[in-house]
C-alpha cells in the first residue's frame, strides 16, 4: 500500500542518487551546455551580420525568441534523454532488475527520477539562460513564479518522449543514435509559427508561446489567457500519457523476453 511517507522516502533516495551522479560526472553536463552555448554564439554572430536596415526591432525580436527557444530546446533535450540514459546505464551496470524490487514499483522509481532530474536541471539551465542574455545584451524578464510552472507544462510532452524512448531502451538497449534525431525534431517543433492553426497541438509550441509572453512581454502567469494555459497543459499531458503507454508496452515485452537482466 503506497503512502505519502514511503513515496517521500523513495523520492529523497532517488534525488540523492541523481545529485551524486550529477556532481560526480558534472563535466559531462557542463560540456553539453557549453557546446550548445557555442552553437548559440555562432547563430548570434550570424544574426549580427544582417544589414543595417534589418538590424532594428526585427533583430531584437528575433534574438529574444532565439534565446527563449534555445533555453526551452536545451531543457527539452535533457528532459527526454535523462530517463533513457538512466535506464541504459542501469542495464549496463546490471542493476536494472533490482529497481523492480522497489516496494512502490518500477514506474514510481522512474517518476521520481524524472522529477529529480527536472529540479536538478533548473540551476545549470538558468545559468545557461543568463549566459545567453549576457552574450547578446538582451535581458529578459525572469519571473520565477510564472516561469517555473510554465516550463514544467512546456516540457511535459518531452517527458512523454522520454518515457517512450526509455521503453525502447529496455527492449532495444542501444538507441543513442535515435536521441540525435529526436533533438532535431524538437527543434523543428519550436520553429513552427504559433499562428499556424495546428501548431498548438505540437509538443513545446503552446508552452513556448506562453513563455515568450512572460519573459518578453512581462505578463504574469495569472494574467495569461486561461484557455491557452489549459491547451498547453492538455497537449503536454496527452503526449506524456502516450509516452507512458509506450513505456508500459515495451516494459511488458522486455519482461516477457527476459531482456531486463542483461544489456
Q: How far is the C-alpha of 125 from the C-alpha of 133, rounded, in Å?
A: 12
Q: How far is the C-alpha of 172 from the C-alpha of 163, rounded, in Å?
A: 14
Residue 59 has pLDDT above 70, yes or no: no
Q: In terms of Cα–Cα distance, which of 34, 33, 190, 171 is closest to 91? A: 171
Report H helices in the chain: 4-24, 26-48, 57-93, 96-99, 106-136, 144-154, 156-172, 176-191, 205-215, 226-256
pLDDT tens for 130-154 read 999 998 888 888 888 989 999 999 9
Q: How far is the C-alpha of 19 from the C-alpha of 17, rounded, in Å?
A: 5
Residue 262 has pLDDT above 60, yes or no: no
Residue 58's pLDDT is what?
43
pLDDT above 70: percentage of residues in the chain: 90
Residue 96 has pLDDT above 80, yes or no: no
Residue, of 119 and 24, whose pLDDT is higher: 119
Residue 57's pLDDT is what?
47
Residue 2's pLDDT is what?
59
Residue 52's pLDDT is what?
46
Most confident of the ranges 19-28, 68-77, 195-204:
68-77
pLDDT tens for 7-52 read 888 888 888 988 888 888 778 778 888 888 888 888 888 777 664 4
Residue 231's pLDDT is what?
92
Domain spans in the chain, listed from the N-terminal domain onward: 4-256
Residue 56 has pLDDT above 60, yes or no: no
Residue 247 has pLDDT above 90, yes or no: no
pLDDT tens for 249-261 read 988 888 787 766 5
Amino acid at each position: 500500500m503506497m503512502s505519502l511517507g514511503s513515496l517521500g522516502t523513495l523520492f529523497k533516495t532517488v534525488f540523492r542518487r541523481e545529485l551524486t551522479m550529477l556532481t560526480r560526472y558534472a563535466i559531462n553536463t557542463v560540456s553539453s551546455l557549453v557546446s550548445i552555448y557555442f552553437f548559440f554564439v555562432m547563430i548570434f554572430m550570424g544574426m549580427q551580420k544582417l544589414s543595417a536596415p534589418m538590424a532594428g526591432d526585427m533583430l531584437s525580436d528575433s534574438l529574444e525568441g532565439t534565446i527563449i527557444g534555445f533555453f526551452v530546446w536545451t531543457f527539452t533535450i535533457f528532459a527526454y534523454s535523462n530517463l533513457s540514459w538512466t535506464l541504459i546505464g542501469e542495464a549496463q551496470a546490471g542493476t536494472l532488475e533490482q529497481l523492480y524490487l522497489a516496494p512502490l514499483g518500477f514506474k514510481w522509481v522512474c517518476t521520481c527520477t524524472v522529477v529529480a532530474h527536472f529540479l536538478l536541471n533548473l540551476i545549470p539551465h538558468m545559468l545557461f539562460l543568463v549566459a545567453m542574455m549576457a552574450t547578446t545584451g538582451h535581458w529578459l524578464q525572469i519571473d520565477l513564479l510564472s516561469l517555473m510552472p510554465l516550463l514544467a507544462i512546456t516540457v511535459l510532452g518531452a517527458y512523454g518522449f522520454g518515457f517512450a524512448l526509455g521503453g525502447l531502451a529496455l527492449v532495444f538497449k542501444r538507441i543513442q543514435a535515435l536521441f540525435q534525431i529526436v533533438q532535431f525534431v524538437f527543434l523543428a517543433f519550436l520553429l513552427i509559427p504559433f499562428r499556424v492553426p495546428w501548431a498548438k497541438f505540437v509538443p513545446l509550441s503552446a508552452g513556448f508561446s506562453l513563455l515568450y509572453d512572460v519573459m518578453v512581454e512581462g505578463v504574469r502567469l495569472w494574467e495569461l489567457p486561461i484557455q491557452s494555459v489549459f491547451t498547453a497543459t492538455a497537449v503536454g499531458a496527452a503526449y506524456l500519457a502516450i509516452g507512458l503507454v509506450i513505456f508500459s508496452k515495451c516494459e511488458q515485452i522486455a519482461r516477457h523476453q527476459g531482456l531486463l537482466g542483461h544489456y
